[in-house]
Amino acid sequence: MRIALVQQPAATDPSTNLEKGIAALERAAADGAELVCYAELAFERFHPQKHAEPGFEDLAQTIPGHVTEAFAAKARELGVVVVLNLFERDGENCYDTSPVIDADGSLLGRVRMVHITDYEAFHEKGYYTPGDTGVPVFDTAAGRIGVAICYDRHYPEQMRALALSGAEVVVVPQAGAVGEWPDGLYEAELRVAAFQNGYFTALCNRVGPEEKLIFAGESFICGPDGRVLARAGSGTEEILVADLELSEIEHSHARRLFLPDRRPELYTDWLIRR
């Protein structure tokens, strides 16, 4: 599988961001990408930099909606799978959501961020309802795709659940700022997740200066042996492309040893007691 991570800055005009995103999809497909992924809230400014104010729901959009419809049409035209991330409104609730679009343009489903954080310039609890979609894995034309949105990547339970559901690639739409990432630790976290679970991880980060934050870029992809296979630049606007050999999954330590040797009856009992 050839994967592309679109690392692009977000202007104040959402329509400009959408046009750039569609153009990036065309370039990635021309370069042979079968799966194209975007960063967290890729087509708008990062709203949680400031506390939510009355009427914040008007910033959100429905799924399906104009963004998913535009990408679905282009995915169908180009024959590529697309993982987006949008600020979604569904009735009275809003979510941080990743729609997954197959190569025929069909909307396979959505993943809503499960765990919601709140600290300086990441005031997410005022915007997002905790996700209710669980941790699905989607059978796509490119492979079996799971999604762990931003903060969710810190939860080993969720990363393991994706492996148990057969994920081959776990996409991580991210909003990571300069100075926010502990040196090397966030990268190590996804290297370990890939190694322990026997899948590829692909973190696609925001990039560029905004109101209170400068997003770092540095998107990266890890193999099921824990190695970093490709890394985008710091502060750069680019499309990171890498070839993933999915056959490596079945030969990984996790799929041959770690997962078969689990004793879930002990862990489940302990978790229930807690």
Q: Rounded to the nearest 5°, which phi and psi values hold at 186?
A: -65, -35
Which CATH topology does 2-273 take? Nitrilase/N-carbamoyl-D-aminoacid amidohydrolase (3.60.110)
- pLDDT at residue 128 greater than cutoff 90: yes
**Residue 243 corresponds to which tokens in the numbers above?**
């070839």
The predicted structure's pLDDT at residue 179? 85
Look up the pTM and report it: 0.96
pLDDT digits (tens, 9 = 90+) for 11-63: 999 999 999 999 999 999 999 999 999 999 999 999 999 999 999 999 999 99
Integer angstrom CA distances of residue 12 from 124, 191, 211 = 19, 34, 10
**Is the distance from CB of 172 to CB of 204 less than 8 angstroms?**
yes
**Residue 235 corresponds to which tokens in the numbers above?**
């502060």
pLDDT digits (tens, 9 = 90+) for 195-254: 999 999 999 999 999 999 999 999 999 999 999 999 999 999 999 999 999 999 999 999
**Is the distance from CB of 252 to CB of 197 less than 8 angstroms?**
no
- pLDDT at residue 274 greater than cutoff 70: no
The predicted structure's pLDDT at residue 100? 98
The predicted structure's pLDDT at residue 182? 66
